[in-house]
Structure 1
Amino acid sequence: MSFLTTSTAMLLASSAAVLAVSLIPTPLVAQPATAGAATEDAAIRPFTFRVSDEELADLKRRIKATKWPSRELVVDDTQGVRLATMQKLADYWASQYDWRKVEARLAALPQFVTNIDGVDIHFIHVKAKEPNALPVIITHGWPGSIIEQLKVIDPLTNPTAHGGTAADAFDIVIPSIPGYGFSGKPTELGWDPQHIARVWAVLMDRLGYKKYVAQGGDWGDAISEQMALQKPAGLLGIHTNMPGTLPDNISAALAGGPPPTDLSADEKYAWDQLDFFYKHRVGYAQEMGNRPQTLYALEDSPIGLAAWMLDHDAASQKLIGRVFDGQSEGLTRDDILDNVTLYWLTNTGVSSARLFWESKLAFFAPKGVTIPVAVSAFPDEIYTAPRRWTEKAFPNLIYYNRLGKGGHFAAWEQPELFTQEIRAAFKSLR
């Protein structure tokens, strides 16, 4: 589930004007962090979250009271998320799903809040037992959250229990993007990926890390690539599973120019993915990039929120549809609803969408990163970055691998593969 746009219309991915899809210390209950502290508090405070029974009852009541539209007039998802999928989701959400399970899972992890630039930043921080573990800050995207990374925490911090060696150990920092999940909601303009990248550098310094790496896909890629451009002291390199690598001729063609010629097989595959995405799947990003405040339904209707989040890239929507048909493909019904419910309980449907409005980046275009970069290309990503485009976009490319399976939510869908990729990607930087 993801994002790509930029403000008033999706920004230019090239000169040819292509769209830019291109702690709260309480014993039991803590509300999501709030933004706007007059004086920054550099303290790192423990965080916990437990929602009231009344709020969970209200959620189920709203699900059951959904006013449904008529069925789509086609036999596929070309008109949007299918009615049958949403009704299966609603039935499970209201009658069987248990939010308390994910609450307990989160409560078992070390979570904290610290105030940076007037906004409370929530993060998970898990240290490895090995003294020479490599610190990594991992950033989620939209419509993801810290839920995306939960499956890879133990494999990365405790590698010997998951097929690795002590030399593969990482200390992990997983922040919630401002406006998302348990982080504060900015009350002033300017919280774009560049600003968040600077905040992440402050966070890693505040945690005492003098050498570290960064990882991300979706907005996590945009923020990690901005960190790479800013070159904060201590950043050794980045890994991305959704890099910005589009050559100018591809950007121009997507904007309506002449179709590309002489593409290799993997470049043609990427072109077809991008062409389909821009023609058929980018609507959510355009709306959030231009009119995020209009999306009141995301915070009034649980089913409205869920449908909006599910209507992402084609591969993710098909995967999720199959999950609610009883087929497990890396994600479970609980995985999907853990993430949607987190957005609902934190009222972050609209505040998360504002990042699209704030960003002026051409999402898929190269940014001029010169520090070491590692790339994992998954086949069901919005587009699978070809090696030749990747080598041109990142002159200091230290690792590239094209995977046989996996999509936009790589750590969530394929945690074992993702873990192997992170270990291999950063091996040379230890």
Structure 2
Amino acid sequence: MCTEWALWPNLGCIIERNLVFEPIPAPADAPARADLIRRIHSTRRIPNPWAGDAARGIPAVRLAELLGEWAEGFDWSVPEERIRAYPWESAGVGTRALRVIHQRAENPDASAVVLLHGWPDSVLRFERVLPLLRDLNVVVPALPGFPYALPLTGEPISTADIAEMVAEAMFALGYDRYVVSGGDVGGTVGEILAATHPESVSALHLTNLAASRVAMIDPAHAHPEEREFAALAGRWRQANGGFVAEQATRPGTVTTMLGDSPAALLAWIGEKLQGWAGSADAFGAADILTWVSAYWFTETAGTALSTYAVPAALPDRIEVPTVYSAFGRDFLSAPREFVQRFVNLAVFSEHNDGGHFAAWEEPAAYVDDLRRAVRLSPAGPAASR
């Protein structure tokens, strides 16, 4: 039944701002922790001809070190307490509601920004930027299927579905205009959100464009740097993209493997955290184990693959003013010509350092570029209801 809040035109009814599920993530109980340790100690080690080749997977010695630390020296309660202490809220429509970190500025009329994470990470990608954004209203959704989100128990959903859910949640939180920032899966969600809700998204901040954009280039009419980038993307995909094909075509197989074995989950995600970061010291052992534990204890290693398995159509072009952050050590840092083909590029900001997890690796540089996007926004309060 509709109430007095405000009409959401796509739903034909009213969004209430009531919490629809427990906003604070539940802690892992003692049996779950004991089960993890038992499984780690029971890891079966078979001959591995590529044990020392980092290009073929996480080195066996490194994996053994991390597994030992996970079972014997890592205290999950410490990062878990920190994570649960964030200002969690939930907002949206019924089972479409999102659990979000909602860091409110002292000034309620301060600009609002939405930070969208990707895979294989979670809201933890933004832990280092949150303290730098206390003057803004910041919303960090746990994307559906990912750690700390409402459990995804129905049909898998696409980035387009998630974009609509983010729009609904922001409306329910009272924000009519906001800046969207993200990368990886979150960047794709941001692109779609900006294209479908330009009346709400005042500016866009991206660290990469959707990977499928490369296929949208006509080589006959492309800039030389675009052709070079497309060739680079093709070589990267051939050498490193097996996980994409597996997660897109056989997500059920991957789910079984990652859900049953902590060693498999650590190897699958750990090699990406180490290989995609811009420097070898971007993630310490405690960081890797925290990010992987978030998947393990929330049982989301499978549901987080949803956006790989369910394709979504991308808009041809996005007219919302966009700031693009090109971090030089990301595995595919797109050139200006490629970016401006697909977005209304206001700022192309280049950085020598920083890899795929830029908000974590280079938080100050990330925030500087995000603030450039905020300055592109029209003046006025972000929340008007």
- TM-score class, shorter-chain normalisation, is 0.7 to 0.9
CA 1:152–1:82 in structure 2 vs 1: closer, same or farther (change >3 Å)? same
1:277 has 2:236 as partner: yes
- Per-residue deviation, 1:350: 1.0
Q: Which residue of 1 aligns with 2:11?
A: none
CA 1:41–1:129 in structure 2 vs 1: closer, same or farther (change >3 Å)? closer
CA 1:354–1:287 in structure 2 vs 1: closer, same or farther (change >3 Å)? same
Corresponding residue to 1:179 among 137, 140, 145: 145
Q: Tell me, yes or no, if the aligned pair for 2:43 and 2:263 is still in contact at 8 Å.
A: yes
1:263 has 2:224 as partner: yes
Q: Which residue of 2 aligns with 1:357?
A: 309
- Per-residue deviation, 1:305: 0.8
1:345 has 2:297 as partner: yes
The letter for the 2-side match of 1:226 is I
Deviations 1:261-302, CA, capped at 9 Å, x for gaps: 9735x974x456413321111111111111111120101101
The letter for the 2-side match of 1:263 is P
CA 1:415–1:234 in structure 2 vs 1: closer, same or farther (change >3 Å)? same
Q: Which residue of 2 aligns with 1:316?
A: 276
Corresponding residue to 1:335 among 287, 293, 309: 287
Corresponding residue to 1:153 among 124, 130, 139: 130
The letter for the 1-side match of 2:224 is L
Mapped to 2, the partners of 1:182 and 1:249 lie a distance apart of 33
Q: SS where residue 199 of structure 2 aligns?
A: coil
Q: Which residue of 1 aligns with 2:362?
A: 414
Q: Which residue of 2 aligns with 1:15?
A: none
TM (norm. structure 2) is 0.85
TM (norm. structure 1) is 0.77
Q: CA RMSD in A?
A: 2.8
1:217 has 2:177 as partner: no
Q: Tell me, yes or no, if the aligned pair for 1:241 and 1:378 is still in contact at 8 Å.
A: yes
CA 1:344–1:380 in structure 2 vs 1: closer, same or farther (change >3 Å)? same
Q: Which residue of 2 aligns with 1:9?
A: none
* Aligned positions of 1:88-167 closer than 5 A: 88-116=65-93, 118-157=95-134
Which deviates the most, 296-305 or 126-135? Answer: 126-135
1:371 has 2:371 as partner: no
Which deviates the most, 274-283 or 45-54? Answer: 45-54
Which structure has more relative contact order (CA 8 Å, sep 6+)? It is 1
Mapped to 2, the partners of 1:202 and 1:170 lie a distance apart of 20
Q: Tell me, yes or no, if the aligned pair for 2:258 and 2:264 is still in contact at 8 Å.
A: yes
Gaps of 5+ in 2: 1-14, 380-385
1:192 has 2:153 as partner: no
Q: SS where residue 133 of structure 1 aligns?
A: coil
CA 1:244–1:347 in structure 2 vs 1: closer, same or farther (change >3 Å)? closer
Q: Tell me, yes or no, if the aligned pair for 2:203 and 2:373 is still in contact at 8 Å.
A: no
1:302 has 2:262 as partner: yes
Q: Tell me, yes or no, if the aligned pair for 2:327 and 2:358 is still in contact at 8 Å.
A: yes
CA 1:272–1:94 in structure 2 vs 1: closer, same or farther (change >3 Å)? farther
- Per-residue deviation, 1:216: 0.8
Q: Tell me, yes or no, if the aligned pair for 2:278 and 2:353 is still in contact at 8 Å.
A: no
Which deviates the most, 142-151 or 189-198? Answer: 189-198
Q: SS where residue 48 of structure 2 aligns?
A: coil
Q: SS where residue 335 of structure 1 aligns?
A: helix
Deviations 1:100-157, CA, capped at 9 Å, x for gaps: 1111212321112335352442111001223442111111111110111111111011
CA 1:248–1:330 in structure 2 vs 1: closer, same or farther (change >3 Å)? closer
The letter for the 1-side match of 2:340 is E
Q: SS where residue 292 of structure 2 aligns?
A: helix
CA 1:336–1:197 in structure 2 vs 1: closer, same or farther (change >3 Å)? same
The letter for the 2-side match of 1:375 is Y
- Per-residue deviation, 1:69: 2.8
Mapped to 2, the partners of 1:98 and 1:73 lie a distance apart of 31
Q: SS where residue 233 of structure 2 aligns?
A: helix
CA 1:86–1:235 in structure 2 vs 1: closer, same or farther (change >3 Å)? same
- Per-residue deviation, 1:355: 2.0
Corresponding residue to 1:43 among 6, 10, 18: 18
The letter for the 2-side match of 1:367 is D
CA 1:313–1:261 in structure 2 vs 1: closer, same or farther (change >3 Å)? farther
Corresponding residue to 1:400 among 333, 340, 348: 348
- Per-residue deviation, 1:70: 2.1
- Per-residue deviation, 1:181: 1.0
Q: Tell me, yes or no, if the aligned pair for 2:258 and 2:265 is still in contact at 8 Å.
A: yes
- Per-residue deviation, 1:211: 1.5
Alignment size in residue pairs: 362
Q: Tell me, yes or no, if the aligned pair for 1:246 and 1:389 is still in contact at 8 Å.
A: no
CA 1:249–1:263 in structure 2 vs 1: closer, same or farther (change >3 Å)? farther
Q: Which residue of 2 aligns with 1:68?
A: 45
CA 1:427–1:262 in structure 2 vs 1: closer, same or farther (change >3 Å)? closer
Mapped to 2, the partners of 1:383 and 1:428 lie a distance apart of 26
Mapped to 1, the partners of 2:262 and 2:25 lie a distance apart of 23
Q: SS where residue 129 of structure 2 aligns?
A: helix
